[in-house]
Chains A and B, each alone.
Chain A
Amino acid sequence: MSQNTDNTPGTADDFQGLVADWSADKETFAMPWGKLMMWIFLLGDTFIFGIFLVGYMAVRMAAVDPWPATEEIFSMTMFGHEFPLLLIAIMTFVLITSSGTMAMAVRSGYMGDRRKTVLFMAITALLGLTFLGMQAYEWATLIFNYDIRPWGNPFGAEQFGAVFFMITGFHGLHVLGGVIYLTIIARRVHKGVYENKGYSIVEITGLYWHFVDLVWVFIFAFFYLL
């Protein structure tokens, strides 16, 4: 079958190319449908997190009591010293590292190296679990040492605890979901399910994982730096 070159999506890279992509037949984006579906899902998920964060800002502005001084709450005492944001810095580091290992999994997948793909996906999942463990530790500290609850805390506006637990909790659920998703896909890669279908599924899983990391960066900025 002959192909009209202007007609092939993704072949040109200027504005004309964009127009050509959108006016092509068969498909609009030169990618497997699963990847596009993940992109669209993430767009919707961006709206969820975006609205959460906008809600957070609105609540913070509307609160009548003063907002708690977060640099005190989020510091960690080690060897008799106060290290502000230490735990958070480690958590962020872990998550960003996991993005790196995920990228390597995707690369190994496309190179057809099944063993390495599974290995890197497993490492990614483990890093994700580490992150969750540290988050659980942080929650426990806030709850038991600082007495911060969703309905109130000794430091000021009660909305602080509410938004903090809600948004980090929602993000944590995303990480948990990601870990489960990674495990399932890694198992299937291990079994060789994708030998014929191709390994774009690893990249799709990676998209989700990178997104969860990216969202964390925003949450980090909004909660710990503001």
Chain B
Amino acid sequence: MTHVAIADQPEEEEHHPTSFIAKYIWSQDHKVIAIQYTIVAMFVGLVALVLSGFMRLQLGFPDTFSFINPNTYLQFMTMHGMIMVIYLLTALLLGGFGNYLIPLMVGTRDMVFPYLNMLSFWMYFLSVLVLLASFFVPGGPTGAGWTLYPPQAILQGTPGADWGIVFMIASLAIFIIAFTMGGLNYVTTILQARTHGMTLMRMPLTLWGIFTASLMGLLAFPALLVSAIMLGLDLLAGTSFFMPALVSLGEQLDHTGGSPLLFQHLFWFFGHPEVYIVALPAFGMVSDVLSTHARKNIFGYRMMVWAIVIIAGLSFIVWAHHMYVSGMNLNFGFFFATTTLIIAVPTALKVYNWVLTLWRGNIHLNTPMLFAIGFIFTFTHGGLSGLFLGNVIVDVPLADTYFVVAHFHMVMGVSTVMVLFAAIYHWYPLVTGRMLHEGMGKIHFWLTFLGTYAVFLPMHYLGFLGVPRRYFSMGDTAFMPESAQTLNASISVFAIIVMVIQVIFLVNLVWSLKNGPRAPRNPWGATSLEWQTPVMPPAHGNWGHALPRVHRWAYDYSVPGAAEDFIPQNVPQEGSGRPDDGGQEEVKA
């Protein structure tokens, strides 16, 4: 039997699920799964946000709140970091947006393996339950820091060393299984299920970002899985993978000869690519938002694609820049500083291309665009402080200070969240058929954007002063001026404001569902396929009775001579297409 590409397979009689459960609970429809992922991820994200609020209360107003003590502080911090990075950003970007957009953008009806896709969500849900359950076990969640470094992660004296850490390890393992199920679907769907005319080099950058990030996840999460297994065995089976001989609480422990450094290598072999697993989809989505709302093709499409691929490759050989002060071999520092600085080149290139996309564009300053432009600012700032930290000699005094906290919040926290907001404002009409309220959106943007600067910019300065990260309180330290505390208080006030502001966003999301103005078809005049479905929001099966045919790249905005300022990808070439559209000439049927 010869093999037939998915786009060429004969249309089967589709059976649409009718019962409520098959439609919305055990659903295999990628769009429903995407929404399930999004809701759960946003919910845990809120938990993490509240936890950071607690931390800020303590830091700004030490010893005013009795439920925050050094132990709970560490627990809040650990859970905040872990949830934000893994359970919010990774899940929302790939499980949420990846699920929704991939089949629509490549022009197919669903993921290649919908059943596995459904399992992926439910495993993710389980991992979240296990994670949240750790708040209620004796001793509470682990307080080892999101990096979970042994020996302290599993030693008595660290909060949650009895149960919290076990739950954390279990939850991570489940998450990795969930991610693998999803990631396999995302990658395979993009490779094998594209529609007629959709070559890889005609895909919107969103897809390139999601594709590359999913592939990276499939190769990076194994390191986390292996280190979690070994850590769990050290804890539960008394092995000594990571545990050297040591005395804890006055007792000689039963471990000898393990290597704590090995854990750090394994963790960061996962941890650094993880940064790009959340960054690359964000890069892709922001490119599309910028191009659409500037009514201009993305500047240097091919360059952007290659930059994504090169960043992904390089990000597997920079991991030890997180370990300059770990005591590893000093020659490593030279190597990893070099690779780290090299990765800045394709990254900077992307920033230039975003700016050049805006250059002389017909910029529509609506909410998604504002957030996208906000991203360029915050990402540039975070990236610049990264250049400093990439150098061993600068990093050594700054490591483990608030400078680092400021850096990673700017570059992966705030920036990625900016793109998420941009993406939600941009694609909400597609998903719900309603527009979000612009006024609320603009208030949300300005307060969030300015607020995060008020929160994270001063932290660089605290870092220069030498304020250490992961400290419950600064105490009476001679080298820190009185004003540092005042600054901390102001940071906390702004942090609380930023948090409260998010209520506007949530209200907007819920309120617009019923009361938002009905979205016209393709409200932004976008070219990519997801906006070209026969009905909006797309129905089950996405495309009615025939798959779309793609004739051009995804960036035909403001083409000279064209009737409108955009030409969707499924409009045939009639001499108005751009010559450099990256795909082959159309095959005449």
Using a CB–CB distance below 8 Å, which chain A residues touch chain B? 1-4, 6-7, 22-34, 36-37, 40-41, 43-45, 47-48, 51-52, 55, 58-59, 62-65, 150-151, 157-159, 161-163, 166, 170, 198, 200
> Within the complex, what minimum Cβ distance (angstroms) separates A213 from chain B?
20
Query: Which residue from chain A places its CB closest to the CB of B245 in the assembled complex?
Result: A64
B21 at the interface (CB under 8 A from A): no
B219/A162 in contact, CB under 8 A: no
A158/B191 in contact, CB under 8 A: no
B201 at the interface (CB under 8 A from A): yes
Q: Which of B6, B233, B259, B262 contacts A26 (CB 8 A)?
A: B6
27 A-B pairs within 8 Å (CB atoms) are namely A3-B587, A7-B584, A23-B200, A23-B583, A25-B7, A25-B198, A26-B7, A26-B194, A27-B192, A27-B193, A41-B184, A44-B222, A47-B219, A51-B222, A52-B226, A55-B230, A55-B241, A55-B266, A62-B262, A63-B257, A64-B245, A150-B237, A158-B256, A159-B241, A162-B237, A166-B229, A166-B239
B60 at the interface (CB under 8 A from A): no
Q: A7-B584, A30-B3, A200-B3 are in contact. List 19 more A-B contacts (CB 8 A).
A: A1-B8, A25-B583, A26-B7, A27-B6, A27-B193, A27-B194, A32-B3, A37-B112, A40-B187, A40-B215, A51-B222, A52-B226, A55-B262, A65-B257, A150-B237, A151-B239, A159-B241, A163-B241, A198-B1
What are the 8 tightest A-B residue pairs by CB atom distance, in nearest-first order?
Answer: A151-B238, A162-B239, A62-B259, A47-B222, A48-B222, A64-B257, A44-B218, A26-B5
B188/A59 in contact, CB under 8 A: no
> Within the complex, what minimum Cβ distance (angstroms) separates B580 from chain A?
14
Which chain B residues lie closer than 8 Å to A26 at the CB level? 5-8, 194-196, 198
Which chain B residues lie closer than 8 Å to A34 at the CB level? 112-113
A212 to B254, CA, bound (A): 35
Q: Which of A25, A58, A198, A200 contacts B194 (CB 8 A)?
A: A25
Q: Do A48 and B192 contact each other (CB < 8 Å), given the known contacts A25-B550, A55-B241?
A: no
Which chain B residues lie closer than 8 Å to A198 at the CB level? 1
A205 to B240, CA, bound (A): 36
> Within the complex, what minimum Cβ distance (angstroms) separates A137 from chain B?
22
Query: Which residue from chain A places its CB closest to the CB of B239 in the assembled complex?
Result: A162
A6 to B222, CA, bound (A): 37
A215 to B475, CA, bound (A): 54
B353 at the interface (CB under 8 A from A): no
A6 to B587, CA, bound (A): 11
A45 to B1, CA, bound (A): 30
Which chain B residues lie closer than 8 Å to A40 at the CB level? 184, 187-188, 215, 218
> Within the complex, what minimum Cβ distance (angstroms) separates A192 from chain B?
15
Q: Which of A25, A36, A158 contacts B196 (CB 8 A)?
A: A25
A162 to B256, CA, bound (A): 12
A150/B257 in contact, CB under 8 A: no
> Within the complex, what minimum Cβ distance (angstroms) separates B63 from chain A?
42
A28 to B187, CA, bound (A): 11
B148 at the interface (CB under 8 A from A): no
Which chain B residues lie closer than 8 Å to A64 at the CB level? 245, 256-257
B262/A7 in contact, CB under 8 A: no
Which B residues between 109 and 163 are near A, CB-CB below 8 angstroms? 112-113
Q: How many residues of B contact A (CB 8 A)?
A: 58
A157 to B194, CA, bound (A): 54
> Within the complex, what minimum Cβ distance (angstroms) separates B438 from chain A?
38
Which B residues between 547 and 589 are near A, CB-CB below 8 angstroms? 550, 583-584, 587-589
Query: Which residue from chain A places its CB closest to the CB of B184 in the assembled complex?
Result: A37
Q: Which of A26, A29, A45, A51 has the most CB of B within 10 A?
A: A26
Query: Which residue from chain B places its CB closest to the CB of A163 in the assembled complex?
Result: B241
B6/A47 in contact, CB under 8 A: no
A65 to B515, CA, bound (A): 71
Which chain A residues lie closer than 8 Å to B473 at the CB level? none
Which chain A residues lie closer than 8 Å to B194 at the CB level? 25-27
Query: Which residue from chain A places its CB closest to the CB of B181 in the assembled complex?
Result: A41
> Within the complex, what minimum Cβ distance (angstroms) separates B173 from chain A?
12
B180 at the interface (CB under 8 A from A): yes
> Within the complex, what minimum Cβ distance (angstroms) separates B236 from chain A?
10
Contact code string B390-421 (vs A, CB < 8 Å = 1, else 0) = 00000000000000000000000000000000
Which chain B residues lie closer than 8 Å to A150 at the CB level? 233, 237-239
Which B residues between 256 and 287 are near A, CB-CB below 8 angstroms? 256-259, 262, 265-266, 269
Q: Which of A22, A23, A31, A33 contacts B193 (CB 8 A)?
A: A33
A161 to B191, CA, bound (A): 42
Which chain B residues lie closer than 8 Å to A200 at the CB level? 3
> Within the complex, what minimum Cβ distance (angstroms) separates B35 from chain A?
24
A7 to B508, CA, bound (A): 47
A200 to B587, CA, bound (A): 30
Query: Which residue from chain A places its CB closest to the CB of B108 in the assembled complex?
Result: A26
A12 to B197, CA, bound (A): 20
Q: Do A51 and B226 contact each other (CB < 8 Å), given the known contacts A58-B262, A59-B262?
A: yes
B240/A158 in contact, CB under 8 A: yes
A23/B199 in contact, CB under 8 A: yes
Contact code string B194-212 (vs A, CB < 8 Å = 1, else 0) = 1111111110000000000
Q: Which of A7, A28, A29, A59 contacts B241 (CB 8 A)?
A: A59
B497 at the interface (CB under 8 A from A): no
A48/B225 in contact, CB under 8 A: yes
B199/A1 in contact, CB under 8 A: no
Which chain A residues lie closer than 8 Å to B457 at the CB level? none
A13 to B107, CA, bound (A): 28
